């Protein structure tokens, strides 16, 4: 989800949380305590690049998707589509 | 201890200027629990402080009083210990990367040193350099071996995630491969009586390689300690 949110534009940690909340209509709320370590892990894995920038007099660490991150996102999307399709076939009531 | 505490406090103070004691205590405790390079730890604390401020501001924008907003923002983050545990993997990965870079240079340096000094007559300077760099190389190699053993065999699998652990294994392969390559090349060159190198080496190069050793090998030792502490070191119970 973090990679998907950052696909559109770079963002800082709390903006990622708000974007996920907005895109899921409040159904999914990532906890702040888990997002920041996750961002760092994704950065270490080469999926994100983090840079410090100054906005409104405050230094902020902003994360952007790397080429590797974009590839990983596409792969995760494919896996998710396959998973939901397969599970959907099982759960849906068979046509009579 | 006092110096370390004041260092942590300085990092926290840089994190943000307008905070209440509760947030300040949380950030100070977090800073005390993190292990790794000072700059990276300070950056992490600043980033987390930003997150707390953002969460508090968002709650206040929804009409929640300042004190309650701060309490909720901190509660949402969890305890400093929980956050530190999550961030430790990131710190360990950075420390391992430095270790990998320095560790991969070590065999090259040893080979360069051996080649360079083989051209220099057996003088007191050569003997001194040989003793000094020999001790350094031994310490570097021993520390690298200890840190890799600690990371890969002992605590690594409990503390590092799978990706970081894979990185550890790759690192050990690189180090082992580098040392094996060094031994192979050294054997060949010894058999050839160093004839490939002796005509190209000079005293200047020999000294340059020794100076590089004096810088790089301690840096490698530092990286070994940093990587081991970052990945396996138990956090302190409480920041003073």
Q: What is the mean pLDDT of residues A26-55?
A: 82
Q: Which of A70-74, B106-110, B175-179 has the highest mean pLDDT?
A: A70-74
Are the C-beta atoms of residues B84 and B53 closer than 8 Å to each other?
no
What is the dihedral angle through the alpha carbons of B33, B34, B38, B39, rounded to the nearest 10 degrees? -130
Which carries the bigger pLDDT value, residue A75 or residue B118? A75
Q: Which residue of B37, B77, B162 is the best one to mutate when testing the A interface, meaning the one whose CB has the most A CBs within 10 A?
A: B77
Which of A33, A44, A61 shows the shortest C-beta gap to B90? Answer: A44
CA gap B180, B183 in Å, rounded: 5
In this model, does residue B225 exceed pLDDT 80? no
Q: What is the pTM of this model?
A: 0.57
Q: Which residue of B15, B47, B61 is the best one to mutate when testing the A interface, meaning the one whose CB has the most A CBs within 10 A?
A: B47
Lowest mean pLDDT among B1-15, B32-46, B197-211: B1-15
For residue B31 the two structure tokens come to: 């800073």
Which carries the bigger pLDDT value, residue A31 or residue B123? A31
Which carries the bigger pLDDT value, residue B64 or residue B234? B64
Q: Which residue does chain A place closest to B93, by CA atoms? A: A44
DSSP state of A58: E
Across the interface, whether the CB atoms of A41 and B54 are under 8 A apart is answered no
Q: What is the pLDDT of residues B153-205, one digit of tens each?
A: 555 445 445 555 556 656 656 665 665 566 556 555 555 555 445 544 455 66
In this model, does residue B135 exceed pLDDT 80? no
Residues with Cβ within 8 Å of B66's Cβ and at least 6 positions away in sequence, in order, are: B56, B60
In this model, does residue A8 exceed pLDDT 80? yes
Provide the chain A residues 15-34 that lie in CB contact (below 8 A) with chain B.
18, 31-34
Are the C-beta atoms of residues B108 and B186 closer than 8 Å to each other?
no
Comparing CA positions, the residue from A16, A48, A50 lying closest to residue A32 is A16
CA gap A45, B158 in Å, rounded: 19
Q: Model ipTM?
A: 0.75
Contact list in B for residue A61 (CB cut-off 8 A) is: 43, 46-47, 50
In this model, does residue A66 exceed pLDDT 70? yes
Q: What is the mean pLDDT of residues A35-53?
A: 84
Chain B residues within 8 Å of chain A (Cβ atoms):
43-44, 46-48, 50-52, 54-55, 58, 73, 76-78, 82-83, 86-87, 89-90, 93-94, 161, 163-164
**Run of H or E residues at A48:** strand A48-55
CA gap B50, B58 in Å, rounded: 12
Quick check: helix, strand or coil at residue A55?
strand
Q: How confident is the model at residue A90 (pLDDT cuts 50, 70, 90)?
A: confident
């Amino acid at each position: 989800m973090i990679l998907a949110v950052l696909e559109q534009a770079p963002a800082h940690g709390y903006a990622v949380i708000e974007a996920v909340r907005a895109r899921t209509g409040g159904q999914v709320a990532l906890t702040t305590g888990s997002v920041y370590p996750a961002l760092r892990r994704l950065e270490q894995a080469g999926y994100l690049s983090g840079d410090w920038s100054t906005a409104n007099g405050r230094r902020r660490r902003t994360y952007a998707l790397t080429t590797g991150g974009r590839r990983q996102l596409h792969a995760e999307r494919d896996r998710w589509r396959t998973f939901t399709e397969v599970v959907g076939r099982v759960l849906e009531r068979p046509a009579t | 201890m006092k110096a370390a505490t004041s260092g942590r406090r300085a990092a926290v103070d840089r994190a943000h200027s307008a905070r209440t004691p509760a947030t300040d205590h949380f950030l100070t405790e977090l800073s005390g629990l993190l292990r790794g390079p000072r700059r990276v730890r300070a950056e992490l604390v600043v980033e987390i402080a930003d997150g707390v401020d953002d969460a508090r501001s968002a709650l206040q924008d929804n009409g929640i009083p300042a004190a309650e907003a701060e309490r909720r923002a901190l509660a949402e983050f969890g305890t400093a210990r929980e956050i530190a545990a999550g961030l430790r993997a990131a710190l360990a990965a950075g420390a391992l990367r430095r270790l990998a870079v320095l560790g991969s240079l070590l065999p090259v340096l040893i080979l360069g040193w051996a080649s360079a000094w083989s051209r220099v007559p057996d003088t007191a300077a050569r003997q001194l350099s040989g003793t000094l760099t020999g001790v350094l190389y031994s310490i570097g190699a021993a520390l690298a071996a200890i840190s890799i053993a600690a990371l890969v065999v002992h605590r690594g699998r409990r503390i590092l995630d799978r990706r970081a652990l894979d990185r550890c294994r790759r690192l050990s392969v690189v180090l082992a491969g580098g040392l094996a390559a060094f031994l192979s090349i050294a054997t060949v060159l010894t058999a050839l009586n160093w004839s490939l190198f002796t005509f190209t080496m000079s005293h200047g190069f020999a000294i340059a390689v020794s100076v590089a050793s004096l810088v790089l090998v301690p840096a490698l030792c530092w990286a070994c300690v940093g990587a081991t502490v970052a990945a396996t070191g138990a956090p302190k119970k409480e920041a003073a």
